[in-house]
């Protein structure tokens, strides 16, 4: 456990060194968060005013078909925004890892050139997500555990879909197959590494969040209205950490994909032994 966290911390630091070279990558996670907020308001507020959530709140067994359609569209749009931003970050990271100097325009153009394929992947991801969530809500006990395991397996199998879409410019179905193929041939501690990165950012949130929470409580004790300052600081810190974490994850994914498919690329940022440990090779790395 501690070895995994230590290794993941090294991956985060190395990914951050790439991010420092291209700080403009942060614009995409930020725009993604803004887009998600606006889309959520655009979908949820009208739906609430129209009373679409009343049946859900009353635990009604009946399903409103219109609500299902709205929920699916919401899923697709939010997935699309998230994947588009991730594709831009991955595209820029791949350029940097190859020794190029990407710009915001380069990253945006890469994502835009894959817009149709990103939409296809967003529709598939939204469909699977809705189905798994619907089953989980109706399952009990062991059933929920099984559904959760299926969800984990799906996330693992599709871990490299975005870099495949970006680099190989294939459709969503082919990208899923390709991602699964790469994982079978480069299986190892990728799962532990990705979870480790999440743990590290959670710890960073606690490290900065706890003092801010204590500050908020102190301000609230002095003057209740002053607590708003602390709340704003907590939200801003969480958003900033989320943006950095999203960018780091994109860089990390790009690096693992490059290692799996482009051994000829001289990686000036990631130590080869570190990548070997995070994405252990089962078979030989051939050309795909």
Give the mean pLDDT of 236-248: 91
**Domain contains 185:** yes
**Domain contains 285:** no
**Domain contains 287:** no
Give the mean pLDDT of 244-262: 84
Both tokens assigned to 193: 């590494």
pLDDT, tens digit (0-9, with 9 covering 90-100), for 185-197: 655 545 555 666 7
Higher pLDDT, 29 or 64: 29
N-to-C CA span, the chain: 33
**Domain contains 82:** yes
pLDDT, tens digit (0-9, with 9 covering 90-100), for 92-144: 999 988 888 899 999 999 999 999 999 999 999 999 999 998 888 887 778 88
Residue 52: band (very low, low, confident or very high) from pLDDT cuts 50, 70, 90: low
> Residue 163: its pLDDT value, please?
94
pLDDT, tens digit (0-9, with 9 covering 90-100), for 202-230: 888 889 889 989 888 888 888 888 788 88
**Domain contains 286:** no
**Domain contains 198:** yes
Check: CB of residue 177 under 8 Å from CB of residue 164. no
> How many folded domains does the chain comprise?
1
Give the mean pLDDT of 12-32: 87
> Residue 78: its pLDDT value, please?
96
| Rounded distance between C-alpha atoms, residue 116 and residue 83, angstroms | 12
| Rounded distance between C-alpha atoms, residue 140 and residue 127, angstroms | 22
Structural domain harbouring 268: 2-278
Give the mean pLDDT of 84-88: 96
Characterize 209-239 residue by residue with b for buried, 16 or more Cβ atoms within 10 angstroms of its Cβ, and e for exposed: beebeebbeebbeeeeeebeebeebbeebee
Give the mean pLDDT of 16-39: 91
């Amino acid at each position: 456990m501690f070895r995994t966290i230590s290794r993941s911390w090294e991956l985060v630091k190395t990914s951050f060194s790439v991010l420092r070279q291209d700080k403009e990558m942060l614009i995409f996670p930020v725009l993604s968060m803004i887009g998600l907020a606006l889309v959520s308001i655009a979908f949820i507020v009208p739906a609430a005013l129209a009373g679409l959530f009343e049946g859900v709140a009353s635990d009604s067994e009946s399903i409103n078909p219109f609500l299902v359609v709205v929920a699916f569209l919401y899923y697709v749009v939010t997935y699309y925004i998230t994947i588009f931003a991730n594709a831009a970050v991955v595209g820029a990271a791949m350029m940097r890892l190859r020794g190029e100097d990407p710009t915001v325009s380069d990253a945006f153009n890469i994502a835009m050139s894959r817009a149709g394929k990103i939409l296809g992947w967003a529709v598939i991801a939204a469909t699977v997500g809705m189905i798994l969530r619907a089953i989980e809500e109706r399952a009990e006990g062991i059933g929920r555990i099984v559904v959760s395991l299926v969800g984990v397996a799906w996330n693992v199998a599709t871990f490299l879909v975005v870099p495949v879409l970006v680099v190989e410019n294939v459709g969503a179905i082919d990208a899923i197959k390709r991602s699964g193929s790469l994982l079978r041939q480069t299986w190892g501690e990728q799962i532990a590494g990705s979870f480790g990165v999440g743990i590290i950012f959670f710890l960073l949130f606690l490290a900065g969040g706890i003092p801010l929470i204590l500050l908020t409580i102190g301000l609230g004790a002095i003057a209740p209205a002053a607590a708003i300052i602390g709340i704003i600081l907590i939200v801003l810190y969480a958003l900033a950490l989320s943006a950095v974490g999203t960018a780091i994850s994109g860089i990390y994914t790009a690096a693992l994909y490059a290692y799996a498919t482009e051994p000829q690329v001289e990686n000036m940022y990631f130590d080869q032994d570190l990548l070997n440990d995070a994405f252990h090779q089962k078979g030989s790395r051939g050309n795909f």
